[in-house]
């Protein structure tokens, strides 16, 4: 038997044309969204000089995503998914275009940035949920781990490029160019996704939406291994919201907008490295232990990030945070796919993603407020230290997750 490679298997891109179209569209979309993620905090910081309002903008976008994920989970189980995906992406494009127009005004509206961030978060999440629910139909359940690794690699490489591009574009032409390019990128994703085949939802009982969603929540409580893994992921996502301090931290190292773009790119670079070398993660005999250990390592890297005396060392810390958080996330994904029944897979993926979005929104609000009360470097170091302490507490309390053993091959594929 061949020894598993350290690197991911990309053959799905060759053998599954619909998944290849999804791959292309997602890459373009991530580049566009990544540029947007830099432009909004930079614009709010320029207009208000307030880390608290920067955090509020990220929080509102996260709240829109959370509501959209929960709504999209129910919609994706009831309506034709291809149509839902195309509708959501088109609606997002309108929001990006409106942000561009607002930025071109003599006095851009901060309220408009908040509202449109909420708009794009909501409709973008509906599209993401529909794509997650449709993936098994495009690649087959037996290929979900491969598809998950390819998806993460797509997201991370797109996120590496987009912040660096955004920093240069903002330096040369301002935030309006970022919003305009995001709108154009969204148009390209819609054209690419037209190649998807019809994606009918699975047969489901016609339940009230709240009841349908509650059955997924009940599964998380009835299967604590899955619930603990998702909670760990939420804490990692909460800690990653330190990015709201990036614009305020840049003067600490006396760097400009181009270097600011590198800060946004560092975490995705580390995560891409983790995804690229993820070939053996599915073979880990104790995936729960790996989730917790990699999460704690990520928190330690984040605690050291703002304390580094040189900008290059701070980037290395961010790369390490991205690497360990990607390992934790990929193992969580594999566990969720393995332990969740087919009938609940869409809703559990939706709730898992929603919980991560909640962590990001709460983290942005907390860390943004800390940045207003403390020096930015103090707020970043304190948030990393607090996450490390919480990670160690979870290690002690989550004995079932820590001791969980990977099922034997015959059981995992049955």
Profile the chain (414 residues) by mean pLDDT over runs of 10 residues: 61 83 78 77 84 80 79 78 88 90 90 86 80 76 71 71 79 84 85 83 70 78 83 86 83 78 82 76 77 92 86 90 88 77 71 73 82 84 90 90 71 38
* Residue among 147, 139, 135, 46 nearest 85 (CA): 135
| End-to-end CA, the chain | 20
pLDDT of residue 389: 93
CB atoms within 10 A of CB 172: 9
pLDDT of residue 412: 37
How far is residue 126 from each of residues 110, 113, 271, measured CA to CA in Å?
25, 20, 24
pLDDT of residue 392: 92
> 76 and 201 in contact (C-beta within 8 Å)?
yes
> 296 and 235 in contact (C-beta within 8 Å)?
no
> 330 and 281 in contact (C-beta within 8 Å)?
yes
How far is residue 156 from each of residues 144, 194, 260, 393, measured CA to CA in Å?
18, 24, 18, 29
* Residue among 47, 81, 164, 92 nearest 346 (CA): 81
Name the residue with tokens 């540029």: 35
pLDDT of residue 299: 93
DSSP state of 244: G
Angle at 30 between CA 24 and CA 34, to 5 degrees: 155
pTM of the model: 0.69
Over the stretch 205-241, which tens digit does the pLDDT of each residue have? 667 777 777 877 788 788 888 888 888 888 888 888 8
> 269 and 176 in contact (C-beta within 8 Å)?
no
């Amino acid at each position: 038997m061949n020894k598993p490679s350290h690197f991911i298997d990309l053959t799905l891109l060759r053998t599954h044309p619909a998944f290849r179209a999804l791959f292309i569209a997602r890459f373009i979309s991530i580049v566009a969204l990544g540029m947007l993620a830099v432009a909004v905090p930079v614009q709010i910081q320029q207009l208000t000089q307030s880390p608290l309002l920067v955090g509020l903008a990220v929080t509102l976008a996260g709240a829109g995503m959370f509501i959209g994920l929960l709504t999209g989970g129910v919609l994706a189980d009831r309506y034709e998914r291809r149509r839902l995906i195309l509708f959501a992406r088109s609606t997002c494009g309108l929001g990006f275009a409106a942000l561009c127009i607002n930025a071109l005004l003599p006095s851009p509206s901060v309220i408009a940035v908040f509202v449109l961030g909420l708009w794009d978060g909501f409709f973008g999440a509906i599209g993401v949920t529909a794509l997650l629910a449709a993936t098994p139909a495009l690649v087959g359940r037996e290929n979900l781990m491969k598809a998950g690794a390819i998806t993460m690699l797509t997201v991370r490489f797109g996120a590496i490029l987009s912040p660096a591009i955004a920093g240069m574009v903002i330096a040369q032409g301002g935030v309006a160019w970022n919003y305009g390019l995001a709108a154009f990128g969204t148009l390209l994703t819609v054209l690419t996704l037209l190649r998807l085949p019809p994606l009918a939802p699975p047969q489901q009982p016609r339940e009230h939406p709240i009841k349908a969603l509650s059955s997924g929540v009940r599964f998380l409580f009835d299967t604590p291994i899955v619930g603990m893994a998702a909670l760990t992921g939420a804490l990692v996502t909460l800690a990653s919201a330190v990015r709201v301090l990036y614009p305020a931290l840049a003067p600490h190292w006396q760097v400009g907008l181009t270097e600011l773009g590198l800060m946004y790119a560092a975490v995705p670079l580390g995560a891409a490295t983790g995804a690229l070398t993820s070939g053996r993660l599915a073979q880990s005999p104790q995936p729960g232990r790996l989730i917790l250990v990699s999460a704690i390592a990520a928190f330690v890297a984040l605690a050291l990030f703002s304390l580094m005396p040189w900008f290059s060392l701070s980037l290395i810390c961010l790369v390490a945070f991205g690497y360990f958080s990607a390992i934790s996330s990929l193992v969580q994904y594999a566990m969720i796919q393995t332990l969740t029944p087919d009938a609940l897979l869409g809703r559990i993926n939706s709730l898992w993603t929603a919980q991560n979005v909640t962590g990001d929104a709460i983290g942005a609000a907390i860390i943004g407020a800390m940045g207003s009360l403390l020096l930015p470097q103090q707020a970043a170091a304190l948030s990393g230290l607090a996450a490390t302490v919480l990670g160690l507490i979870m290690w002690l309390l989550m004995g079932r997750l820590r001791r969980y053993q990977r099922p034997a091959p015959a059981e995992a594929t049955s």
